[in-house]
Structure 1
Amino acid sequence: MLRLLPRVHRGLTAAAALNLVVAVGIPTAFIVAGGRFVGALPAAVRSGGDPAGSSRLWSALVVLAVVYACQQLVVPVLDTATQALARRVDEHVLLRVMAAVGGPSSTAHLEESGTLDVIAQATGATTNGETPGVVVPPMVATWSSRLVSLVSGLILLRFHWWIGVALIAAPVAMLGVWQRFYREATRAIFLGSTELRRSAYLRMLGVAAAPAKEVRVFGLGGWLGERFHDTWTTAMTPVFAAWRSGRMFMVVIAAVPGTLMTVAFVLIARDGVAGRLSLAEVTVYATAVRQVVFIGGISDLDRRIHAGLACLGALGDLEAASAATQPSIAVRVLPAGAPVHRIRFESMGFTYPGRSAPVFQGLDLELEAGRSTAVVGVNGAGKTTLVKLLCRLRDPDSGRITVDDIDLADIDPVTWQRNVAAIFQDFARYNLSAHDNIALGRPEYADDRDGVVAAATRAGITETIDALAEGWETPLDRQRTGGAELSGGQWQRLAIARALFATAHGARVLILDEPAANLDVRTEADLYDRFLELTGGLTTLVISHRFSTVRRADTIIVIDAGRVVEQGSHAELVAAGGRYAEMFDLQARRFTEGYADELGVDSEEAVTDA
């Protein structure tokens, strides 16, 4: 933490350090000045208020007044600077977490429980929000108190050196033991990160707006409460055990500094009565004895500090893991306008970590540049995995993917990903303005308002946006003031517009993964009527169960068991009477004549999802 603070902000770190010095200096000054004040009282009383006899008393009062004024004027300013530093630290840490998580071009690490645990640890999600920034003010307060206690111990060296040494050593030993117990408790919390993440998810289900309807309709409130309690208790039981063992042990060893304090008070009283100590010295030494034991004082602030600092260790682990997953340096430059000829999957194999069955084994597939290719197959055939591999969100275990005969592994993944515009099956719904939801397709061109409107028009979402309360600037989040919520189909058209905005600004590969999944029949019909317009000139990969969309593609590929089993145009595959024809016929027969009449198309052309 000490190395981190100057990197965050040198000026605020200096202010926090000054805050620490002042927080130590003011109580110490009060101890000394207070002792002088008490020591000067007898002489002032004997002088009957004579200025000459009361000078020491008034001098001590002036010092106390100055110290008090500093406390009232300076400390709030320095506390404000310390709070500002705390916010900067949290911002710095969160930016590093975002960089570590978003750094790898692959998303494989985000599908691993261990990585998700470390992310939760680094962001304070497993420590009840105790982050490195949150604990900066408690650190200043705690360590200023301990430094004041240390100074008090040094003062006692003038009385009896062994009293000063003993009263410093005993609380320091207590502090060391307590710190060990807090480390064990924090370690137990981190070991239970998976269960804590699950308990947080269950808690969210019980209080969030999105699942509220099902929670009430299905009566899930009690079930969620029980599962949350069981999961949270399981995770926290080792933590409670560590805290209990620490408290029982400390009851025993706390008797040592208590005994030493009693001895010190007795010696001070004895020497004061015998006249070997002045009244001022008795006051100063007695106050110092009371203060010195706070070196080993433990409060909830210490728990918070340990939890917050542990986040930095998790952040280091996260950054190390991120660096280890970075791809090798690109050796080939992606040619402008690529792909010009083709994209090939050559003898490609891929298996998800932890699974024995491969998704692909020896897959050979070609996407012709500037044309559309649709991939169909039963659930689990690997269609969505194919999208991840093409986007370099995953890399194949064997074989390779080439772009105009250049191995995709030799191309900078970030450069390639900027060349791809994708509508994923689980597309993101950004709680931002309608304009931003589209402009995020190419955020560096967010000021291109005409381009945003053009993309929205092509996706058929312009009228919906214009009808919103604040038009294009309407927040798409009902929980925000003036916000609005879209239907599933409207969100999907917004996602399509986002991808089209990306293609308008240079992306040459368009991926449509279930682009009509949330669309109603009429909107779907409009989509496939305009399919050729939307995909014209782009190398397009379409993944869909809806053959109304698939049939418009130039080439259709059927995948089964990780291999290509059929390939051709819609007419060719239907005529062949194979697997594609069987799936198409199944969907066509389920389409009712009433819907076809409503749309003004034949039942073969407007097929709904099976």
Structure 2
Amino acid sequence: MATVYLLKVLIDAVTAASGAPDDDKAVRYVLWMVLLTGLVFLLSTLTDSLKSYIQLKLQQYFYDSIFQKIHQTTTSIDVAYFEDDAYYNLFSRAIQNADSKPLQIVESSFRLLQFSISILTLGALLVSLHWSVPLLLLIAALPLGIAKVYYSNALHQWYQSNTQAERKIWDTHDVLTNAYFSRELRVNGLTMYFRSLFERLRSEVRSGYLSIIKRRAIVETFCLLFAAVAVFGALGYISLQSIAGILTVGGLAMYVMAIHRGVSFFQELLKSLAELYENGLYITYIQDFLALEPRDKPLDEGLDFPRNLSQGIQFKNVNFSYPKSSRAALKDFNIFIPAGKTVAIVGANGAGKSTMVKLLCGLYSADEGEILIDGVEIKELSRRALRENLGVLFQNFSRYNFSVRENIWFGDPHKPMDDQRIQDAARKAQVDKMISRLPYEYRTVLGRIYDNSEEISGGEWQKIGLARTFFKDSEVVILDEPTAALDPDAEYEIFSLFSEIVKDKTAIIISHRFSSVRMADYIYVLNDQLVEEHGTHAELMTKKGMYYRMFSKQAEAYV
């Protein structure tokens, strides 16, 4: 507004001075107006730069804040959520909008305030020309605003209905770019298949999106033409006023600029309203995701874990099915693991061995039956206390692209990162010699995806996972397929020390390797989600049942 008015005064001053070039006072007045107009323009430019800096700064803080909240949600909700496709739809919508939409709401709100103030001041100026001029400009801009709101809603509905398709696209992209899939893609000749799949999926999504964008562009073009007619009418009116001598040249320039800016500000105001509406629709995805809550009790609610187990762990008539699965993972499941003993669980794939571990860790709750630790139902224990006393190597253990020492320390991050304890755990897992050959030893970053990082073999990764479990020094040790990727020599070295490592601890070993199973104090054989038989190695061999057959078949392979 100030710039528009000063421009009018400057033009009138120049016009007056040009008629009297020897009038020093008129010339000085022009120079002062040039200086003042320049200062106002400079101030406006500096304000825009400051606004840009503040917006970028806010963007960083918003980004960090939103992702902290998302990470808090993903790490506190129950594992069962990760078995639900509805969760992944919600997560995908939230994560794709988390880094931009909250800030865009703030930016749209600021622009809304800015343009509202500008329109009010310009409106007051245009009313001085004629009361109908600002009303005409409002009517001219209104159809465009309505169109923007309508198509914002249409795009939101399209996006919601295409979430699964977008997820499929990103999954295919992950296959094409992730090192995990790179070998099979090349060896099996799958590169063209997945590239074609990605292009086809993108084509389907793109055509739907562009169809809406095309319709929006056509409608907005007609709205802009309608606005242009109104602007031409207003410009014609002020031109006639100037010809009639009612307006000075400066006044003509001022009102032309005011009308131009007024239409632009009206359109920007309505655009900001539409963006505010659109971003508000998308922000509900983030709000819905952050509203997810654990279905289980709080982590710290419940009894402490029994110290120095005296009885043991018992699964009593346990039945369990995974969420949205009609197939039972465990049926009338009964086992007893005596305190201070090592018990092995064997059986075919899908027999329920790993499921038992997940239930014992409190990651899922049994549908029926009881899981008792020293006679205390697991549901009555504090989940935090339970997990702090379980040292677990999962079958699909995590491979962290962090340093060796961090990979091992992650087994018990509540304790200091003590290098001596880390090295002791590495020795127990028979991985210390390998670590000593790495370029930075325990400080070497694993994974070969960062500068100076190193990749290690699958068996070496498994030893790192074992070291992580041993570092925890927990009351109960659970190893799910701990030697699946190890060679026979490495397996022998680890289990020759195992009885010493788990001395006075309760240990559960799940394995297909009978060379590691036979050293257990007691063995359970699972078949079809049930306990088929149980006993010591000698007792089970005497029975000549399922264990005997499995052991004999594996032994034959070495003869």
Query: Deviations along 1:513-547, whole A, 9 cap, x unmatched?
Result: 11011111211121222221232222222111111
1:196 corresponding residue in structure 2? 166
The reply on whether 1:175 has 2:148 as its aligned counterpart is: no
Cα displacement (A) at 1:251: 3.0
Letter of the structure 2 residue corresponding to residue 113 of structure 1: D
Query: Deviations along 1:24-80, whole A, 9 cap, x unmatched?
Result: xxxx33222222222222112123163422354334322222223324444434422
Of 72, 90, 95, the residue aligned with 2:63 is 90
Equivalences for 1:104-503 in 2 at 5 Å? 104=77, 106-124=78-96, 131-132=100-101, 135=104, 139=108, 143=112, 146-147=115-116, 150-151=119-120, 152-294=122-264, 295-296=266-267, 312-321=283-292, 323=293, 325-327=295-297, 332-337=302-307, 339-503=309-473
Cα displacement (A) at 1:509: 1.8
Query: Deviations along 1:160-191, whole A, 9 cap, x unmatched?
Result: 22221231344244223213312321332232
Letter of the structure 1 residue corresponding to residue 545 of structure 2: G
For structure 1, the 5+ residue unaligned runs are 1-27, 593-610
The worse-fitting range, judged by mean Cα deviation, of 177-186 and 478-487 is 177-186
Cα distance change on mapping 1:293 and 1:369 into 2, 3 Å: farther
In structure 2, C-alpha distance between the alignment counterparts of 1:492 and 1:211, rounded to whole Å: 20
Report if the CA contact (8 A) 1:351-1:397 is conserved: yes
Letter of the structure 2 residue corresponding to residue 448 of structure 1: D
1:561 corresponding residue in structure 2? 528
The worse-fitting range, judged by mean Cα deviation, of 558-567 and 89-98 is 558-567
Letter of the structure 2 residue corresponding to residue 342 of structure 1: G
Cα distance change on mapping 1:282 and 1:392 into 2, 3 Å: same
Cα distance change on mapping 1:331 and 1:498 into 2, 3 Å: closer
Of 79, 82, 95, the residue aligned with 2:52 is 79
Letter of the structure 2 residue corresponding to residue 493 of structure 1: K
Cα distance change on mapping 1:448 and 1:253 into 2, 3 Å: same
Letter of the structure 2 residue corresponding to residue 573 of structure 1: L
In structure 1, C-alpha distance between the alignment counterparts of 2:294 and 2:177, rounded to whole Å: 38
In the superposition, the TM-score normalised over structure 1's length comes to 0.85
Cα distance change on mapping 1:254 and 1:395 into 2, 3 Å: same
Report if the CA contact (8 A) 2:109-2:276 is conserved: no
In structure 2, C-alpha distance between the alignment counterparts of 1:231 and 1:181, rounded to whole Å: 23
Cα distance change on mapping 1:92 and 1:309 into 2, 3 Å: farther
Report if the CA contact (8 A) 1:130-1:308 is conserved: no
Report if the CA contact (8 A) 1:528-1:548 is conserved: no
Query: Deviations along 1:384-410, whole A, 9 cap, x unmatched?
Result: 111111111111111221222222112
In structure 1, C-alpha distance between the alignment counterparts of 2:260 and 2:279, rounded to whole Å: 30
Report if the CA contact (8 A) 2:162-2:205 is conserved: yes
Cα distance change on mapping 1:268 and 1:282 into 2, 3 Å: same
Report if the CA contact (8 A) 1:157-1:165 is conserved: no
Cα displacement (A) at 1:130: 5.8
In the superposition, the TM-score normalised over structure 2's length comes to 0.92
1:36 corresponding residue in structure 2? 9
Report if the CA contact (8 A) 1:557-1:564 is conserved: yes
1:513 corresponding residue in structure 2? 480
The reply on whether 1:522 has 2:489 as its aligned counterpart is: yes
In structure 2, C-alpha distance between the alignment counterparts of 1:308 and 1:301, rounded to whole Å: 10
Cα distance change on mapping 1:319 and 1:325 into 2, 3 Å: farther
In structure 2, C-alpha distance between the alignment counterparts of 1:311 and 1:411, rounded to whole Å: 40
The worse-fitting range, judged by mean Cα deviation, of 303-312 and 45-54 is 303-312
CA RMSD of aligned residues (A): 2.7
In structure 2, C-alpha distance between the alignment counterparts of 1:299 and 1:491, rounded to whole Å: 57
Cα distance change on mapping 1:465 and 1:114 into 2, 3 Å: same
Q: Secondary structure at the match of 1:443?
A: coil
Q: Secondary structure at the match of 2:101?
A: coil
The worse-fitting range, judged by mean Cα deviation, of 418-427 and 67-76 is 67-76
Cα displacement (A) at 1:107: 0.9
Query: Deviations along 1:368-397, whole A, 9 cap, x unmatched?
Result: 222221111111111111111111111111
Cα displacement (A) at 1:259: 1.5
Q: Secondary structure at the match of 1:53?
A: helix
Query: Deviations along 1:327-356, whole A, 9 cap, x unmatched?
Result: 368763214526442222122111122222
Of 18, 24, 48, the residue aligned with 1:45 is 18
In structure 2, C-alpha distance between the alignment counterparts of 1:308 and 1:209, rounded to whole Å: 36
Cα distance change on mapping 1:312 and 1:136 into 2, 3 Å: closer
Letter of the structure 2 residue corresponding to residue 228 of structure 1: F
Q: Secondary structure at the match of 1:485?
A: coil
Cα displacement (A) at 1:455: 0.7
Cα distance change on mapping 1:500 and 1:120 into 2, 3 Å: same
Counting matched residue pairs gives: 557
In structure 1, C-alpha distance between the alignment counterparts of 2:285 and 2:185, rounded to whole Å: 34
Cα distance change on mapping 1:31 and 1:550 into 2, 3 Å: farther
1:603 corresponding residue in structure 2? none
Report if the CA contact (8 A) 2:76-2:294 is conserved: no
In structure 2, C-alpha distance between the alignment counterparts of 1:293 and 1:208, rounded to whole Å: 50
1:13 corresponding residue in structure 2? none
Of 42, 57, 60, the residue aligned with 2:33 is 60
Of 578, 599, 603, the residue aligned with 2:545 is 578
Letter of the structure 2 residue corresponding to residue 406 of structure 1: V
Cα displacement (A) at 1:476: 0.8
Letter of the structure 2 residue corresponding to residue 454 of structure 1: D
Cα distance change on mapping 1:586 and 1:240 into 2, 3 Å: same
Q: Secondary structure at the match of 2:525?
A: strand
The worse-fitting range, judged by mean Cα deviation, of 329-338 and 559-568 is 329-338
